[in-house]
A and B are shown apart, each in its own frame.
Chain A
Amino acid sequence: MKTEETAVQSGAKPRFRFTRKQSIGLVLGATIFGAAAQMLIKYGANNLASSSPIDMVTNPPLFTGYALYGIFTVLLVLALRDGELSILYPVISMTFAWVAILSVILLGERLNLFKVAGIGIIIVGVAILGRNSNR
């Protein structure tokens, strides 16, 4: 929201640039939408009455899931405008971590050592990408 204001105030040729941390923040935000989309699509697919194309489009969880994927893509593209692909793309892996966490909270799936280690290592990896010092 603040970014919009800045762009408008700066006059005729607004060209706001996201910093590296802001771009990473955008992708992290996007991954929450991506994770929610995956959960909804999985839920929708499991509860589908029939496999007719009309059912696949009108099923509310599936439809909402696709829409959230759309938001994910918009945020990702916005981040990619100013950020480096080699930094931002691995950040998308946080989607896997959110899905694992959401599955425990919402579906009652059990955590195990592999999952906890995986989530932890992904978070450390993303944090190191954020510390990249070439800019």
Chain B
Amino acid sequence: MTTPISSMLLVVTGSFIGSFGAVFLKSGAGKLTRNVLKLILNWRLAVGVALYLFSSYFYVLGLREGELTILYPLVSLGYIFTFIWSRIFFKEPFTTNKFIGLSLVVVGIVLLQLGNR
């Protein structure tokens, strides 16, 4: 069984879109208030949730066909994208602990998903 390029592209697109969901949630979270109306009108949070839903659509399409050993690691790309955006958009410093922690998490996810096959 081979993995179609289209499946790989769909999964990468899904993780790319999802990583921006995280960026909008973070950005909206910075504007949290106790004012209920303002909370409802917090468009950043709404966009964040919408991007997540949108990304799951690509995952479902992408994971239908192809080898999961190739596709699952691509899903974890979302964690790496988000890590990069947090530096670019929120000026969060890269530290050694973050690199090690993130790398272990990505390896762990891939192993777990391989075990689920």
- Co-assembled chains A and B: yes
* A residues whose Cβ falls under 8 Å from a Cβ of B: 73, 76-81, 84-87, 89-90, 93, 96-97, 100, 112-129, 131-134
- Taking CB atoms, residues of chain B closer than 8 Å to A118 are 108-115
Q: Are B92 and A121 in contact (CB under 8 A)?
A: no
Partner of A122, one of B23, B93, B97, B105: B105
* Cross-chain contact A122 with B108 (CB below 8 angstroms): yes
Closest Cβ of chain B to A28, distance in Å, is 13
- Check if A115 sits within 8 Å of B112, measured CB to CB: yes
Secondary structure of the A contact surface, majority rule: helix
Most buried by A among B29, B82, B113: B29
Size of chain B's interface in residues, with CB distance under 8 A? Answer: 39
Task: Encode B21-39 as 1/0 by CB contact (under 8 A) with A.
Answer: 0110110111010000000
- 16 inter-chain pairs at a CB distance below 8 angstroms, sorted by A residue, are A77-B29, A78-B29, A84-B86, A85-B23, A89-B79, A90-B79, A96-B112, A96-B113, A97-B108, A115-B116, A120-B108, A121-B108, A122-B112, A125-B105, A128-B104, A134-B93
Residue of B nearest to A82 (CB): B29
- Could you tell me the distance between the alpha carbons of A21 and B106 in the complex, rounded to whole angstroms? 21
Q: Are A86 and B92 in touch, CB under 8 angstroms?
A: yes
Given contacts A89-B83, A89-B86, A90-B79, contact A129 B115 (CB under 8 A): no
Once bound together, how far apart are the Cα atoms of A128 and B95, in whole Å?
11
The 6 closest A-B pairs by CB, nearest first: A114-B115, A118-B112, A125-B104, A122-B108, A118-B111, A129-B101
Q: In the complex, which residues of chain B have a beta carbon less than 8 angstroms from the beta carbon of A96? A: 108-109, 112-113
Contacts of A120 in B (CB 8 A): 108
A85 touches B82 (CB 8 A): yes
Of chain B, the residue at the smallest CB distance from A119 is B112
Assuming A80-B26, A85-B22, A85-B82, is B108 touching A125 (CB within 8 A)? yes
Contacts of B100 in A (CB 8 A): 125, 128
Contact of B98 among A116, A117, A132 (CB under 8 A): A132
